[in-house]
Amino acid sequence: PSLHGFVLKAGGVAGVCVDLILFPLDTVKTRLQSPQGFRKAGGFRGIYAGVPSTAIGSFPNAAAFFITYENVKSLLPHGSSTYLSPATHMVAASLGEVVACLIRVPSEVVKQRAQVSPSSSTLRILSHTLYHEGIQGLYRGYKSTVLREVNTCLFLF
């Protein structure tokens, strides 16, 4: 039972809990932002539409972040000088987000499409996206998501 194993499990469980608790709020936000309008996107009906993609992607997403963060942090200089500590955390968190987004973005694409089309299943949306857009369709918005997340990491530290 290593520290990395604990971090992997704890990070994964924490990510799943947060994502599932906040899911209905995310659905409402996505539908409010939908070009078709809140009501046509489903309104308050099917508030958990798309939750399978979140449930499947949440654990590996959070685990990937924390494992990358801890590994990068251990590789960077972290001597007794306190002025390097914030930089070490910023770099480690930023790289953790880059890796986590490899899992998060495809999950988010499928989830958001399911949220505005509550009558379609997650599997149908995934296969439709892959068939019509290829793997690139699942990574739509990857660069902007990484940019947002890395900026958040830099801002927090």
Per-residue model confidence as pLDDT tens for the chain (157 residues): 577 678 778 877 888 888 889 999 999 999 999 999 999 999 999 999 999 998 889 888 988 998 999 899 889 876 666 666 788 888 999 999 999 999 999 999 999 999 999 888 999 999 999 999 999 999 999 999 999 988 876 666 5
Are both 86 and 120 inside the same structural domain?
A: yes
pLDDT of residue 7: 73
CA geometry: angle 83, 86, 87, nearest 5 deg: 90
Distance CA 138, CA 33 (A): 20
Q: Do 42 and 61 touch, CB atoms closer than 8 A?
A: no
pLDDT of residue 8: 75
Are both 59 and 132 inside the same structural domain?
A: yes
Burial of 134 from C-beta contacts in 10 A (0-12 / 13-18 / 19+): exposed
Are both 68 and 126 inside the same structural domain?
A: yes
Are both 20 and 77 inside the same structural domain?
A: no
Are both 87 and 144 inside the same structural domain?
A: yes
pLDDT of residue 107: 95
pLDDT of residue 80: 60
pLDDT of residue 6: 81
Domain that holds residue 144: 49-156
Are both 113 and 71 inside the same structural domain?
A: yes
Are both 34 and 73 inside the same structural domain?
A: no
pLDDT of residue 83: 62
pLDDT of residue 37: 94
Are both 150 and 112 inside the same structural domain?
A: yes
Are both 74 and 100 inside the same structural domain?
A: yes
Are both 57 and 39 inside the same structural domain?
A: no
Are both 24 and 96 inside the same structural domain?
A: no
Distance CA 111, CA 26 (A): 10
Are both 106 and 64 inside the same structural domain?
A: yes
Overall number of domains in the chain: 2
Q: Do 55 and 20 touch, CB atoms closer than 8 A?
A: yes
